[in-house]
């Protein structure tokens, strides 16, 4: 059975090379070609990019946008994680669910909701405030409007990254500070925050990379405000008529250098994170910090967060989906509401195909990701052969690959190929597997790290083969973790736009692409109805999986 094990590990390595290394190599080769040629050895594309002052301005815009939006995401996400994990606020489960609610809404919908709320002319909030402050108080079509929406998109990510860090803190340190007379604000600044500094930096860097590669908000909001970032420029270069693939490849390589440098710096920093560890056992239960007179203010903050980031966008989305045209919510407008847009969406073959494609691509990609992650997790955490550490590096690398870079890399790899991959749903699935693999692997690492190796050793002594150990020990015990990975990957598939937009062809449209096309065609009502339908689909999927695992006692 060792032969089967080594064969699977070798096959996983080859598959990772095909998924990550080969497309990047093709992208690099393509970046040296000249326009209209498949290959070449010219540096003209790099010279064109690096000699253009606009490139540095675009890169500066990208860095400022990613930094500012990440600060918003980390500030809100950290404050929510702290209040719900370390203090005595009420309704923690309710507010925790709402903190994750934006993760269930595709970015296209969130961006569209804020346009409908803060547009200078048709925005609901501007119309409500016009009698007091005059027309156009807010303008979503601006750089800072783009930053605000981009930051809100990453709040669930920051919350998920920081929640375990706050949960792992030894409460004795905070209790000692409280007994010494320190107030909650001082305890937070001098005890809690320094201890979670590695997690804060990690969350910031991941949010930064995701923001610098995002094209959803920059396209939907930034282009309208004539604000461009580097990822937007790559997308426009590839989709212009005629497209300039070699130049877009060179731009992608330069953006890739920035993101890879950041992620490997994060890995280097994370190796020293154990210096901040204070908990090594399970013999404690975190006690909530008593906020005292600050408790009402904390509850008010949680309510405001809920209303601003979940309530208002969802309300305006539903209202717009029921309205025959864009109108501010009012009692007079109730008489005009109808289900007409829903009927149009449900009878649109492209809309239905987008949902089915996203479901199929998400589920298939999730199964492949989790199967690979299970093998990689065992090789990295349980195998004594250091050579398999290569799997960890290869599975981590896609975390630094922007969606537009993955899309262009796959085009460079599969467009010249005789295999019928380009233009099909299969290439979308390949992109999803590549993009979501790091998250699946990290999730399996976390779950497998909680399983003592003595379980495997006992099974091996009893004569169980490696494959049987995976099937009878790791798979059942990691099933809840893998279910979470399945849900996460499917939801990310519905949210993903950059790679899907680059790889777009008739028949392989995903939900986010179809929603973007509806919005670009000037059909906000149809887009809103389409979004509400998808939110309902994802909610049903989430409830079904939770009930299934509830019946299984997990």
Q: What is the CATH number of domain 60-331?
A: 1.10.3720.10
- What residues does 87 pair with on adjacent strands? 289
342-554 is classed CATH 1.10.3720.10:
yes
* Cα 179 to Cα 433: distance, rounded to the nearest angstrom: 51
DSSP, res 314: H
Output the 3-class SS for 210-278.
HHHHCCHHHHHHHCCCCCCCHHHHHHHHHHCCCCCHHHHHHHHHHHHHHHHHHHHHHHHHHCCHHHHCC
Name the residue ranges covered by the structural domains of the chain: 60-331, 342-554
DSSP, res 325: S
The model's pTM is 0.77
Per-residue pLDDT of the chain (554 residues; tens, 9 = 90+): 567 777 877 888 888 888 888 888 888 888 888 765 555 567 888 888 888 888 889 889 999 999 999 999 999 988 888 888 777 788 887 888 778 777 767 787 788 888 888 887 777 788 888 788 777 778 888 899 999 999 988 888 788 777 766 766 656 666 666 666 666 666 666 666 666 777 777 778 778 877 887 888 888 888 888 888 888 888 888 777 777 778 888 888 888 888 777 767 766 665 554 444 444 444 445 556 677 777 888 889 888 888 888 888 888 889 889 988 877 777 788 888 899 999 999 999 999 999 999 999 999 999 999 888 888 887 877 776 777 777 877 887 787 677 778 888 888 888 888 888 888 999 999 999 998 888 888 777 766 765 666 666 676 677 676 677 777 777 777 777 777 778 778 888 888 888 888 888 888 899 989 988 888 888 888 998 998 888 888 878 777 776 766 555 44
Query: Can you tell me whether residue 168 is helix, strand or coil?
Result: coil
Count other Cβ atoms within 10 Å, centred on residue 56.
Answer: 12
Task: Tell me whether residue 482 is exposed, middle or buried, using C-beta atoms within 10 angstroms of its C-beta: 0 to 12, 13 to 18, 19 or more.
Answer: buried
Residue 89 · residue 299 · CB < 8 Å? yes
From the centroid of its chain, how far is CA 272? 26
Question: Tokens 């250098």 identify what position?
Answer: 257
* Cα 30 to Cα 28: distance, rounded to the nearest angstrom: 5
Q: Can 60-331 and 342-554 be said to share one CATH topology?
A: yes
Count other Cβ atoms within 10 Å, centred on residue 144.
Answer: 14
Q: Return the closest-CA partner of residue 493 out of 362, 351, 402, 353.
A: 362
Q: Which residues contact 120 (CB under 8 A, 6 or more apart)?
A: 126, 135, 136, 138, 139, 140, 141
- Give the DSSP per-residue string, 496-554: --HHHHHT--TT---HHHHHHHHHHTT-HHHHHHHHHHHHHHHHHHHHHHHHHHHHTT-
């Amino acid at each position: 059975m060792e032969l089967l094990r080594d064969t699977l590990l070798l096959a996983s390595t080859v598959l990772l090379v095909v998924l990550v290394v080969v497309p990047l190599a093709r992208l690099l080769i393509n970046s040296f070609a000249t326009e209209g040629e498949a290959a070449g050895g010219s540096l003209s594309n790099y010279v064109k990019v690096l000699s253009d002052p606009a490139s540095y301005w675009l890169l500066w815009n990208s860095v400022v946008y990613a930094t500012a939006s990440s600060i918003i995401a980390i500030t809100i996400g950290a404050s929510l994680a702290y209040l719900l994990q370390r203090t005595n606020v009420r309704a923690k489960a309710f507010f925790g669910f709402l903190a994750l609610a934006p993760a269930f809404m595709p970015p296209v919908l969130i961006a569209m909701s804020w346009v409908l709320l803060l547009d200078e002319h048709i925005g609901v909030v501007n119309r409500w405030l016009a009698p007091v402050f005059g027309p156009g108080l807010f303008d979503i079509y601006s750089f800072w409007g783009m930053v605000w929406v981009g930051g809100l998109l990453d709040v669930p990510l920051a919350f998920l990254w920081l929640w375990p860090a706050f949960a792992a803190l030894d409460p004795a340190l905070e209790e000692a500070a409280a007994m010494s007379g320190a107030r909650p604000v001082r305890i937070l600044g001098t005890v809690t925050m320094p201890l979670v500094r590695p997690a804060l930096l990690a969350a910031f860097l991941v949010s930064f990379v995701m923001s610098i590669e995002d094209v959803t908000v920059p396209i939907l909001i930034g282009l309208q405000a004539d604000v461009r970032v580097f990822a937007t420029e790559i997308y426009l270069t590839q989709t212009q008529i005629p497209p300039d693939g070699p130049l877009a490849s060179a731009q992608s390589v330069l953006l890739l250098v920035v993101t890879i440098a950041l992620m490997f710096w994060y890995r280097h920093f994370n190796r020293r994170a154990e210096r901040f560890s204070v908990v090594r056992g399970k013999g404690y239960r975190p006690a909530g910090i008593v906020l005292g007179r600050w408790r009402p203010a904390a509850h008010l903050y949680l309510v405001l967060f809920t209303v601003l980031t979940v309530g208002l966008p969802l309300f305006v989305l539903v209202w717009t989906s029921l309205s025959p045209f864009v109108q501010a919510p009012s009692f007079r407008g109730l008489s005009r509401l109808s289900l007409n847009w829903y009927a149009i969406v449900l009878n649109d073959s492209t809309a239905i195909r987008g949902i089915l494609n996203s479901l199929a691509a998400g589920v298939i990609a999730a199964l492949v990701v989790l199967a690979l992650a299970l093998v990689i997790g065992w090789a990295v955490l349980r195998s004594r052969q250091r050579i398999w550490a290569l799997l960890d590096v290869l599975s981590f690398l896609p975390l630094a690959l922007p969606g537009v870079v993955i899309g262009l890399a796959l085009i460079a790899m599969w467009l010249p190929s005789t295999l019928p991959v380009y233009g099909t749903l299969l290439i979308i699935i390949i992109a999803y597997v590549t993009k979501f693999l790091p998250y699946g692997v990290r999730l399996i690492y976390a779950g497998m790290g909680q399983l003592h190796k003595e379980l495997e050793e006992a099974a091996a002594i009893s004569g169980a083969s490696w494959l049987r150990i995976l099937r009878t020990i790791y798979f059942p015990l990691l099933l809840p973790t893998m279910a979470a990975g399945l849900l996460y990957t499917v939801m990310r598939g519905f949210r993903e736009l950059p790679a899907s937009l680059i790889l777009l062809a008739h028949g392989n449209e995903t939900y986010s692409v179809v929603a973007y096309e509806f919005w670009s065609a000037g059909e906000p009502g149809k887009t809103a109805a389409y979004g509400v339908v998808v939110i309902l689909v994802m909610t049903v999927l989430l409830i079904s999986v939770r009930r299934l695992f509830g019946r299984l006692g997990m």
